[in-house]
Amino acid sequence: MKDFRFWLQFRGGWLLATITAMIAIPAAAQTANFGTLKLSPGFEPAQGMGTGYTGGSYSLSAMSNRDRDKKVCIGFADPNPDHILVLEKDFDSLKILVNSGGDTTLFIKGPDDGTIRCGDDTGKSKDASVSDSQWKKGTYRIWVGIFNAGVKRNYTLTVAQ
């Protein structure tokens, strides 16, 4: 009887561990709504382009009020990132911009959870951009937000050297 109880507890523990792992994996993986861009220095312009649409109601400032340069992080997006950007090597500088004809924002997290870059209006355009230096090799999650929650707008995302 003791052996049977031990066996039941052992199996129950494995079952609990398996269920916990299955629940945790999707949250950690966090796939992109609109795909992944993999880039190395010297990439072709077409490789640095993606498309999608805005429309979420999740406040990007809930993830971080300010970025690494103390710029304000604003806008609304889906809780999942819109794009994953994989830099296969370090880049001295990159510019990431949105073209939608609307009032968009950008929230970029990576390659670690503590590095945030945010962007809003670009000159006369209401579309967002982030132009920065020292982009380290790794995975970046990109949210394309909109100034007003729930507004759906198609966009093109461009990563340029």
- DSSP string across 48-79: GEEEEE----EEGGGT-SB-TT-PBP--EE-S
Average pLDDT over residues 91-109: 98
pLDDT-derived band of residue 121, with 50, 70 and 90 as boundaries? confident
In the chain, % of residues over pLDDT 90: 78
CATH for 35-160 is 2.60.120.380
**In terms of pTM, does the model score above 0.85?**
no
In the chain, % of residues over pLDDT 70: 82
Domain ranges of the chain: 35-160
